[in-house]
Chain A
């Protein structure tokens, strides 16, 4: 279960233009975070999120990539100006929270099938 919900590119782009080049090039760490993020999204939805399709899969991908992006940002914040990392963390946290509110709703999940 890795990169089923989103691509690494989606997560990297959400970490901003000044994300650490080291972590952006580290496929192994990003894959670990993808596995963890997909597991967390599934747990929060009480459903295997990788079975979602269509628009609901895209919403799950949004949550997943935001969660991975927060890991990328917090891995090394020295490339960001002051408060730039804060803003990116807050934006991604907001996206993650809102996406999960949608995904937890069973009626929305039924849109997937």
Chain B
């Protein structure tokens, strides 16, 4: 049966795709998390450009008996889409982090990442995953890389919708008042921070989010 094509819009541009992306039907875009700061305060963003983040790391103090209370949520937002998109597949998070401790005391941290569809009023989580738990028991700062897959619910983004990555730091401590610090790095330029130092340690100071798009073929 042939459907009469009375309505047929023509593309205004010729799109070129990578062969392997066409074979899989998805194209992955890498976004980098970064912080910017103006006269009002700081905000967290995503971009596919390698900007210099205003702060290379964000630090959270770990106090005793904090009992894995979530710290402030960090919302890394992409600017609203100008054309409709459909996200499908498995995203990947890669981020340099560090955990500083005190001698004879304990500090723990883990991170939860939510990938969110945000239409300006309602947040809908389309994928989530949680890192392993890191522990510090000495007066040293130990950097690590968080590398997590996040299975996504197939989701359409309309014009103006925002892709948001919400990062939550969960911390806990046992000991005296201040038992350590949690660091999350977010510098697209991969510069050295105070705790996450790519030039000397086997770590990155980037926050990368690999997002698979359903190719509009």
Contact = CB atoms under 8 A, between A and B. Distances in A.
Interface of A: 17-18, 20, 78-83, 85-86, 89-91, 93-94, 97
A89 B7 contact: yes
12 contacts: A17-B156, A20-B158, A78-B160, A81-B84, A81-B86, A85-B7, A85-B9, A89-B7, A90-B3, A90-B5, A90-B7, A94-B3
A2 B188 CA distance: 57
Given A18-B156, A18-B158, A82 B6 contact: no
B159 A78 contact: yes
Interface residues of B, number: 16
Contact of A91 (B3, B8, B156, B160): B3
A82 B217 CA distance: 9
Nearest to B119: A21
Contacts of A86: 5, 7-9
B216 A94 contact: no
Interface of B: 3-9, 11, 83-84, 86, 156, 158-160, 216
B158 A79 contact: yes
A91 B3 CA distance: 7
A64 to B, nearest CB: 19
Contacts of B7: 85-86, 89-90, 93
Contacts of B84: 18, 78-82
A46 B175 CA distance: 86
Contacts of A17: 156
A85 B216 CA distance: 13
